[in-house]
Amino acid sequence: MELQQRVSNLRKITDEFISRVINKERKDKGIEERIRGFEDIVYGRKKEFWKIFQRFLALKNWVNDYGASLLHENLSQEHLERVISGTEVIKDYRRRIKDKKMRKISDEVTRMINSFLSQSIRKAGLVYTPLGLVESEDLETIQALRDKLPSSVGLNEEFEKGLEYQKRMLKDFYKSQDHLLSVLDFQLCTLERKFSFEDELFTANLLYFLKRKNYKITPYLERFKKIVQRNSG
């Protein structure tokens, strides 16, 4: 009798676990379908979205239909980054619009999506920075970068000096066939050995550029943040 009870309890636990897994998979699939629907509109993957004004009207419906429900979901960083990428494309569409009525609609849609994004990012405990989405506490790393910038006369010259250093390094130190990921890796090694503002700025620019080109830079970004934090004092 005791054995039967154990078997029954085990079966109940197993059934509950399977049920939770199935429900989570359904939930995740629903989120993925809605994010993919957003991308279908933005990138005009279906005939009904080929025209720009059709995309803005469809995006307005997408935010109205799914925005509120998605705010109650735990969107992953990957989902948020896909919406951010799509939003950048939308802003580019906005610049092309000449019609005043359509421009008004595009402005409204852009505000709606920005509001949705802001709330979703904040709920996820993330912050949007030029290097992409980072956890809120990582703002200390960003602030450390800002604090190193001179705030008085010569700021422009200091920035130009940093850019010139990057140009010289790419031209004279690295080979033209070196992939930027290899350059990034070597720059991180350089910072680990000897920290300098010029190499820090160079590395930050490489990270941002590669991120915008859709390279997977998370491991490099983590290394960079640790190095900056160690040298922020």
Separation between Cα atoms, residue 26 and residue 191, nearest integer Å: 45
Distance of CA 186 to the CA centre of its chain: 24
Separation between Cα atoms, residue 188 and residue 224, nearest integer Å: 7
DSSP state for residue 73 in the 8-state scheme = S
pTM beyond 0.75: no
Q: Is-contact 149 158, C-beta < 8 A?
A: yes
Q: Is-contact 80 124, C-beta < 8 A?
A: yes
Could you tell me which of 120, 102, 4 has the C-alpha nearest to residue 59? 102
Separation between Cα atoms, residue 98 and residue 12, nearest integer Å: 63
In DSSP terms, which residues pair with 135 in a beta bridge?
126
pLDDT per residue as tens, the chain (233 positions): 565 666 565 565 554 544 454 444 555 567 888 889 899 998 888 888 888 888 888 898 988 888 777 877 778 888 888 888 888 888 888 777 778 888 888 888 888 888 888 888 877 777 665 455 556 545 555 555 555 544 544 677 777 888 888 888 777 677 777 788 888 888 888 888 888 888 888 888 888 888 888 888 888 888 888 888 888 75
